[in-house]
Amino acid sequence: MDVFYNLLKLLHILFAITAVGSNLSYGIWQGLAGNDPQRNTFVLRSIKFIDDHVANPAYLLLLASGLTLAWWHWSYTTHWIQAAIVLYVIVILFGFAVYSPALVRQIETLEREGIGSAAYRGAAIRATAIGIAVMVPVLGILFMMVVKPTL
């Protein structure tokens, strides 16, 4: 039984690395694109692809594996698990409802108005700020998982 628990825990950690690592790489990608409109279009479309097909599925697998691990070895009434679940719901809702549409608007604005336009700069600043805001509760979840604080 411990073998299966440890295997699931390993997968859970790999899902976290994949999801959070993908998200953290977005700023690096954008920095490498510089002010080149073609590179920025490629980078932003690649970020959208990674977000939709790598990071977000990993976050969903994190939920499934995390809830299973909590049921198996801990308890849903454990305060740090409850706090992590609340933060997770915030991340998912904010990511899907706010960040993803902001990224789409950033791409559309880049392609429609160009990289030097005020509209694009505004869209880029909004998407970046939202992306950073999404990462704050993610870091809170990571803290809960590593420290397991007693509240």
pLDDT, one tens digit per residue, over 122-139 is 999 999 999 999 999 999
Please give the average per-residue pLDDT across 53-72, as a whole number: 95
> Is residue 151's pLDDT more than 70?
no
Please give the average per-residue pLDDT across 9-34, as a whole number: 96
Instruction: Look over the chain and give the mean of its residue pLDDT values, rounded to a whole number.
Output: 94
Q: Is residue 28 very low, low, confident or very high in pLDDT (cuts 50, 70, 90)?
A: very high
CA gap 54, 26 in Å, rounded: 13
Quote the domain boundaries for residue 58: 2-147
Q: How many domains does the chain have?
A: 1
**CA 37 to chain CA mean position, Å:** 25
**Spatial contact of 4 and 69, defined as CB atoms under 8 Å apart:** no
> Rounded to two decimals, what is the model's pTM?
0.89
> Is residue 1's pLDDT more than 70?
no
Neighbour count for residue 118 (Cβ, 10 Å)? 8
